[in-house]
A and B are shown apart, each in its own frame.
Chain A
Amino acid sequence: MTDIEPDETVDARGAACPGPLMDLIGQIRDAEAGDVVRLLSDTDQSLTDVPEWAEEAGNELLAIEELDDHNAFYLEKA
């Protein structure tokens, strides 16, 4: 379990690819620099989509938390 406290959470569980990534991008767009956004996704594709986009956009992927039926991604906006 991570002890990172997110500023915002995007619950994209149930959404098909690329929905979770687009939901995350939308939230990051509205966030302030330094804010941490948590994405909840149950799509395996997010395990590659989110790190790839984080690297491309220069945002830091702080952690990926593996939970029972989904993953939680913690991104800090650059």
Chain B
Amino acid sequence: MLTVATGNKAVALAVKQAKPVVIAAYPITPQTEIVEQIAEYVSSGELPARYIAVESEHSAMAACIGASVTGVRTFTATSSHGLLYMHEMTNWAAGARLPIVMANVNRALGPGWNIWAEHTDAMQERDTGWLQVYVASVQEAYDATLMAFRIAEDNDILLPVMINLDGFLLSHIMQPLDAVEPNDFIPPLHLPHAIDTKNPAGYGTLTGPEDYFKFRWDIERSMRDSMKVIAATEDEFSRRFGRTYGFTEDYLCEDADVIVVSMGTLGREAEVAVDHLRNEGVKAGSMRLRWFRPFPDLDLRGREVVVIDRDYSFGFGGVLAKSIQAKNRIDVFSVIAGLGGQEVTYDDIAGFVKNRRMGTEFWFGVTGNV
């Protein structure tokens, strides 16, 4: 069914179609529209689920955890400080191996008070054991949400999944949406450790040094296995519904001398920049990283690499740039751009490429235009 929707509405529609049993959420800008729309679906009976209007994000994740462990499908959505407020419980969700799906509408952190797009909120969740996907269009937000349930609930994974979409730039932008009928694409959830009062067990009990690390390793093993599950799920999605994704979305990378790596909506802007650069004779390409956890191996050998981070780790660098440097053992030109919704146009990105200085870091708008 072809329609038009905002990123938020697209996520809400996918959630309705995935039929979660419990949704617990707290509104926060710019995520609000997701939970309002889901509350509407529940209220009208279109989604036969329980909507728990909790008093905080900390409780939202806790309520999802409590519901999920009974073996039912759960969903929540948040953004920025909401995500940081639930941080204790995001660790708990992954540690308890619960396939909770959450949309995070990426937003900057205060102070100063800023409601616009930035990835630093989600970056602070990178070591929690959540799978993280970053999307760049309304269609992709919808498709990734449907796939997230399938991936999280795969019995080889059983880890929570976070769908990241840029605040306002995607959450509130209207684009065409081709909604599908997922039917059996998302099979019923079978949680092997669901609470069963006929078979009592302790969950999350004290665990000493002789056992704790085994649970940690088990999370990492599932993270590694998730590579295969993500690929298989996206393949099946492609066969059924005709849209193909991957760990990265590559644009004119094959013969490129220089590749721009980014995440989220900046990746779309980078593609336009690449078109302009090609017209000027610069053999540029764009690689938009979709899955940040698990972090894929990127084929960047023999190219110059410009990484744009819409995030920062103070005293260290752009998280994406440093991750690529460390994992691929290459030098990059690290650009910090788009923090707190700072406007970054395709012209700006073309400028980063043309004036790249490999092995350095550049703060867009601070140290002047390159």
Chain A bound to chain B? no
Q: Which residues of A contact B (CB under 8 A)?
A: none
Residues of B near any A CB (own CB < 8 A):
none
